[in-house]
A and B are shown apart, each in its own frame.
Chain A
C-alpha cells in the first residue's frame, strides 16, 4: 500500500464513523451538541501517517477527527457522545470536549480560540524540559477573528516556541461565510504579521497536502520555531448537528453542490474502510442507545 492509499483508507474510516453518528443522531439519545467534520478528513488522515512524531494537540469544539486519529477507541468515543461513564471523560463533558491525553490529544475547548495558547505552554515545556513532542494548536478560520490567535502568534514568535498553528479554513463560522467576516480568504496572512513561517494548502490535492504537513512538522522539529499551516477545506455538514448543509445561512445549494463535486474523498472512497468505520461505530451507538433508553433522565424541568 502506498502512503496515499493509507491516507484514503483512514479518511474513509473517519467518514464512515462520522456518518454513523450523523445517521443515528436523530434518535435523540446523544444529548449534547455534536460538531462533525465530514468533508475535512484528509488532513487528519495525513497527520496519522506522521506517527513517528509525538504530538500534544489542543483542539476546538470540532475535535472528533483529532480524537479518532490519535486514539480511535470507538467505544469511549460513542459512550462520551451518549454522556455515559464509559466515555472519554466519563460522560461528563460530551462531544465538545473529546480528548485522549495519554495518546497526545490533550484537550478540546469549545470557546473559539481558547485552546491556542495552551499549545504554546506545551511547546514552552518541551523547549525548556528537553522534550521532543510537537505541540499543535488546532483551530479554524473563525478563531482567526479572535484576538487570542494574534497574541499567541506574537508570543510564539518572540519566545521561539516549537508549535504548529494548524488552521482548518473551512470557510464558515457556523453558517456565516468567510467573505462576510474577513477582507481576505487567506489565514496565513496573520502568521506573516508575526513573522511566523507559513504555508497554505488545500485538501483537494492529496499529494500537496501530505507534503505540506510533513514539511511543517519537519520545520518545527529541526528549527524549534513556530509554523502556521493553513489547510483549505470544506465542511459538508452543518455547523452543529447531523444534517448535510445544503442551504443554511450564507450557503447556497449551488455552492454546496460544487463543493461536493470537488470533494476528493467522495471520489476516491475506500468503501471497505468506510463500511468498517460505519458498522463498528453503529454497533456501539446501538449499544448505548439501548442503555440510554433505560436511563432515568426524564422528569420535570
Chain B
C-alpha cells in the first residue's frame, strides 16, 4: 500500500462518517492521482462536487460553506493554481475567526500538489511554502510519509482554521511503511527538512550511520511544531543543515536559523542551507537536476559541516551513487510512470 491509497482511504472514512463533509475537485473521475474516492467508493456520492476552473470562487464558496456547517475538502492539481485563490485565502478564509470576533470559523482542508520532474517546468513545480506560511490563520502541512498524512487528517478533525497541505507528488507513491526522520543519542549534525526532502535526507542519514556518521533528521511536516525538536538536536550536535523545498532565499530554513540564534544556540560551525536557486525551474531533465535539491547536494553540505568525517561521508556517497546507477533523475523511482 502506498500513500495515495492511504489518503484515499482516509477521505473515504471521513466522507462516510460525516454527512456534512464534501469533497470539491475539478476532475473527480480522474481520481486526483488516485488519492480521492470515486462515487462508487462512498456511501453518499453527492458528497463529491465537481468544480469549474474557478479557484478563487471555489475557495470563497468553501470558506462561506464552512462557516455554516459544511466540512469541505478541496483539491487543486498544482500549488500554482492556489495563487489564483490567494485573495480568498488571505482576506477571508484565514481571517474568519478574527473578523467575526470568534463567532464564526471556517475549517476546511485545501490540498495542493507540488510537481517535480517529468518536465513540470517553471509553472508546475513550485511549492511557495514561504508564502503560505506567511499568512496568519492558515495551518500549513508539508507531509513526507504516511504518519504525516495521518497527522493531517487528525488535525482537520481538531482545528477550526483552514488547513493547507502541500503534497509533493513524489510522496504519493511511497509505501506507507516508509518512515522518515533519524535520531541519535550523540548526533554529529542535524538536518531540518520537510516534504520530499525528508525522504532524501533520511536515506542519506541511514546510509551514513552505517559508515559511522550520525546525522539527525528532523522531519517537519508542520514548521512551528518542529522548532523544539530541531533545537534539542542542535544542542547536542551544534551543526545544522537546513533544507528548503523551494528557494532558500526567504525560505523556512532562514526563519529556522534565525529562531535558533534567538534562542541562543551555539553553533560549532556556520549553518548551511540547501534549496532551489532563486530562479524558475527548467523542464529540461539535466537542468532540473541542477535546480532541485538532491542527495548529492546533501553529501556536499555534510562534508562541509563535518570535515573531520569526510572520509566516511565519501565512502557513503560512493555506495549511494552505486545504488542510483541507471535511474532517471526526473522521477522518484521505478514505480513512477508519466504523464505525471
A interface residues (Cβ-Cβ under 8 A, vs B): 56, 58, 89-90, 92-93, 97, 99, 101-102, 106-107, 109, 111, 114-126, 128-129, 131, 135, 147-148, 151-152, 154-155, 158-159
Most A CB atoms within 10 A — which of B49, B54, B57, B87?
B57
Check if B101 is an interface residue, CB within 8 A of chain A.
yes
Task: From the candidates A116, A126, A151, name the one contacting B68 in the complex (CB within 8 A).
Answer: A126
- Within 8 Å CB of A151, what residues of B? 52, 54, 56-57
A200: min CB distance to chain B, Å: 23
Contact among A117, A129, A152, A159 with B70 in the assembled complex (CB-CB below 8 Å): A129
In the complex, residue of chain B having the shortest beta-carbon distance to the beta carbon of A115? B92
Going nearest first, the 10 A-B pairs with the smallest beta carbon separation are: A121-B64, A117-B60, A151-B57, A125-B68, A118-B64, A121-B65, A151-B54, A120-B61, A117-B57, A121-B61
Do A125 and B52 form a contact, CB below 8 Å, given A102-B103, A118-B60?
Answer: no
**B67 in the interface, Cβ–Cβ < 8 Å?**
yes
The answer to whether B64 touches A148, judged by C-beta atoms less than 8 angstroms apart, is no
Chain A hits for B125, CB < 8 A = none
**Bound CA span A111–B67, Å:** 19
On whether the beta carbons of A121 and B70 are closer than 8 Å, the reply is: yes
B108 to chain A, nearest CB (A): 10
Given contacts A115-B92, A117-B61, 15 further A-B contacts (CB under 8 A): A89-B101, A102-B103, A107-B99, A109-B92, A114-B87, A114-B92, A118-B63, A118-B92, A119-B64, A121-B67, A121-B70, A122-B67, A128-B20, A147-B56, A152-B54
Name 28 A/B residue pairs within 8 A (Cβ), A-sorted. A58-B64, A107-B99, A109-B91, A111-B87, A111-B91, A114-B87, A115-B92, A116-B60, A117-B88, A118-B64, A118-B92, A119-B64, A120-B57, A121-B67, A122-B65, A124-B61, A124-B64, A124-B70, A125-B68, A125-B69, A125-B70, A126-B68, A148-B56, A151-B56, A152-B54, A154-B54, A155-B54, A155-B58
Identify the B interface with A (CB < 8 A): 20, 22, 49, 51-52, 54, 56-70, 87-88, 91-92, 98-101, 103-104
Complex CA–CA separation, A128 to B70 (angstroms): 8
Nearest CB in chain B to that of A112: its residue: B87
* B64: min CB distance to chain A, Å: 2
Q: Specify the main secondary structure of chain A where it touches its partner.
A: helix
Q: A114 touching B104 by the CB < 8 A rule?
A: no
Interface majority SS (helix, strand, loop, mixed), chain B? helix
Question: Once bound together, how far apart are the Cα atoms of A115 and B60, in whole Å?
Answer: 8
- Name the A residues within 8 Å of B103 (CB-CB): 101-102
List residues of chain A with CB within 8 A of the CB of B99: 89, 93, 97, 99, 107
Contacts of B22 in A (CB 8 A): 128
CB distance from B180 to the nearest CB of A (A): 36
CA distance A184 to B166 in the complex (A): 42
Residues in B with CB closer than 8 Å to A159 are 49
Q: B88–A114 contact, CB under 8 A?
A: yes
CA distance A147 to B22 in the complex (A): 25
**Most interface-central of A56, A97, A116, A124 (chain B CB within 10 A):** A124
Return chain A residues, CB-CB under 8 Å to B59.
117
Q: How far is the CA of A151 from the CA of B152 in the complex (A)?
A: 30
Q: Which of B51, B57, B65 contacts A125 (CB 8 A)?
A: B65
Nearest chain A CB to B29's CB is how many angstroms away?
Answer: 16
Contact B100 A107 (CB under 8 A): yes
Query: A121 to chain B: which residues have CB within 8 Å?
Result: 60-68, 70
Task: Please measure, in the bound complex, the distance between the C-alpha atom of A22 and the C-alpha atom of B1, giving whole angstroms.
Answer: 67
Do the beta carbons of B69 and A129 come within 8 Å of each other? yes
Complex alpha-carbon distance, A5 and B284, angstroms: 73
Q: How far is the CB of B114 from chain A (nearest CB, A)?
A: 24
Min CB–CB distance A123 → chain B (angstroms): 8
Q: Is the CB of B104 within 8 A of A106?
A: yes
Give min CB distance, B102 to chain A, whole Å.
10
Query: Which residues of A sit under 8 angstroms from B101, Cβ to Cβ?
Result: 89-90, 92
Interface contact A99-B61, CB-CB below 8 Å: no
Are B65 and A148 in contact (CB-based, < 8 A)? no
Determine the distance from Cα of A251 to Cα of B249 in the docked complex, in whole angstroms.
48
